[in-house]
Amino acid sequence: MEDRKITEKESLELISQMIRNTQNKLAENSGRPFLLFGYLSVAFAIVIWCLIHATADWRWGYLWFVLPAIAWPIVARIYNRMRNKTTYIDRVVKYIWILMGITIIIACGFTLIFHDMESLFFTSLLLGMCTALTGLVVKIKPVVIAGAIAMALSPVVLWMQGENRLLLLSLVFVLVFVIPGHILNHKSKNNA
Amino acid sequence: MFKELNPLLHSELRLAIMSLLLSVEDADFVYIREQTGATAGNLSVQIDKLSKAGYIEVEKTYKGKIPCTLCKITPEGVKAFEEYVEALKSYIRFTDN
């Protein structure tokens, strides 16, 4: 493309071609932050379950606060490196998950302060909702379904006992992060 | 009656840059170069012209340790683009008739 004058029809064609090229395209590897959070969260849930199970000490739950401290800087780095453009969809998804992260930290704080695990229900429900919302925004049905299943599973936490709820939570992490992460990566590779 | 076409926008590369930036929040120099297929030197000159006209904002930043130039359309740029499209419509209507 050069700095040359064009006809009016060429102008219109060029405008629509450029808009078509950028709209509704996911950045390549856009599932990476989901995968990082997903696998780390599953690993944390299993390790914390093992530690509580072995020692009967609920204070191992404080380890959850290490997760965002590890994952957020890495996700910010990945996001910054892979980003060559920001669409309106990217911005909406980013803010959904930032608000989600803050809400989850507050929910986890309450769980640890009040020594019960009721907040795991809200955590699972919110995670499922945000994944479903992400799926709706990026228009990928399997991501919406994964989020909806996580939402449907969340009340089961209320009927489970003690640290075993963490096992259900790890399943929720697979549904809200790992599966959508792989789907997003696959889709972004196909439409790059 | 024809409306005058903005000469700054009525150029292939500058119009492509503006159309591209209109449909995203921001885009980096490499992405714009890939999408337009322009040479780095030419693109740089055209971005500078649009920036001086106040149609786009240019931010020099870093991606890790690599320098990165981020471009973003300004409200003034959006207005100019809308006026350009309106003017374009009057030309198209005339040629269709």
What ranges do the domains of chain B cover? 12-96
Provide the pLDDT for residue A158. Answer: 85
Provide the pLDDT for residue A24. Answer: 61
Going by pLDDT thresholds of 50, 70 and 90, the confidence category of residue A170 is: very high
CATH architecture of B12-96: Orthogonal Bundle (1.10)
Contact between chains at B12 and A6 (C-beta distance less than 8 A): yes
Provide the pLDDT for residue A87. Answer: 83
What's the Cα-to-Cα distance from B85 to each of A115, A141, B46, B70, rounded to whole Å?
Answer: 62, 35, 20, 25
Interatomic CA distance for residues A52 and A59, integer angstroms = 8
- For residue B66, give the chain A residue with the closest CA: A81
Provide the pLDDT for residue B42. Answer: 93
Contact between chains at B23 and A22 (C-beta distance less than 8 A): yes
Going by pLDDT thresholds of 50, 70 and 90, the confidence category of residue A119 is: confident
Residues in chain B with CB shorter than 8 Å from the CB of A18 are 16, 19-20, 23, 35
pLDDT at A134 over 90: yes
Among the ranges given (A66-80, A170-184, B52-66), the one the predictor scored with the smallest mean pLDDT: A66-80
The domains of chain A are located at 31-178
Provide the pLDDT for residue A17. Answer: 86
pLDDT digits (tens, 9 = 90+) for A41-97: 999 999 999 999 999 888 888 888 888 888 888 888 877 777 778 888 888 888 998
Provide the pLDDT for residue A117. Answer: 56
A187: distance to nearest CA of chain B, Å? 19
Q: Please answer whether residues B43 and B29 qualify as being in contact, where contact means their C-beta atoms are separated by less than 8 angstroms.
A: yes
Sheet of B66-73, strands arranged across: A85-86, B26-28, B66-73, B56-63
Residues in chain A with CB shorter than 8 Å from the CB of B36 are 1
Scanning the structure block, which residue is given the tokens 């401290």?
A69
Contact between chains at B63 and A3 (C-beta distance less than 8 A): no
Q: Which A residues in the span 90-109 are in contact with B, Cβ-Cβ below 8 Å? A: 90-91
What's the Cα-to-Cα distance from A16 to each of A9, A11, A74, rounded to whole Å?
Answer: 11, 9, 37
Provide the pLDDT for residue A151. Answer: 94
Ramachandran angles phi, psi of A86, nearest 5°: -120, 120
Q: Which of A5, A9, A22 sits opposite B11 (nearest CB)?
A: A5
CA angle, A131 then A137 then A139, to 5°: 95
Tell which wins on pLDDT, B56 or A19. B56
pLDDT digits (tens, 9 = 90+) for B20-47: 999 888 999 999 999 899 999 999 999 9
Going by pLDDT thresholds of 50, 70 and 90, the confidence category of residue A115 is: low
3-state secondary structure chain A: CCCCCCCHHHHHHHHHHHHHHHCCCCCCCCCHHHHHHHHHHHHHHHHHHHHHHHHCCHHHHHHHHHHHHHHHHHHHHHHHHHCCEECHHHHHHHHHHHHHHHHHHHHHHHHHHHCCCCHHHHHHHHHHHHHHHHHHHHCCHHHHHHHHHHHHHCCHHHHCCHHHHHHHHHHHHHHHHHHHHHHHHHHHHHHC
Contact between chains at A84 and B31 (C-beta distance less than 8 A): yes
pLDDT digits (tens, 9 = 90+) for A8-50: 888 888 888 888 877 766 777 788 889 998 999 999 999 999 9
Going by pLDDT thresholds of 50, 70 and 90, the confidence category of residue A116 is: low
Tell which wins on pLDDT, B89 or A151. A151
ipTM above 0.90, yes or no: no
Going by pLDDT thresholds of 50, 70 and 90, the confidence category of residue A128 is: very high
Q: How many CB atoms lie within 10 A of CB A157?
A: 22
Going by pLDDT thresholds of 50, 70 and 90, the confidence category of residue B1 is: low
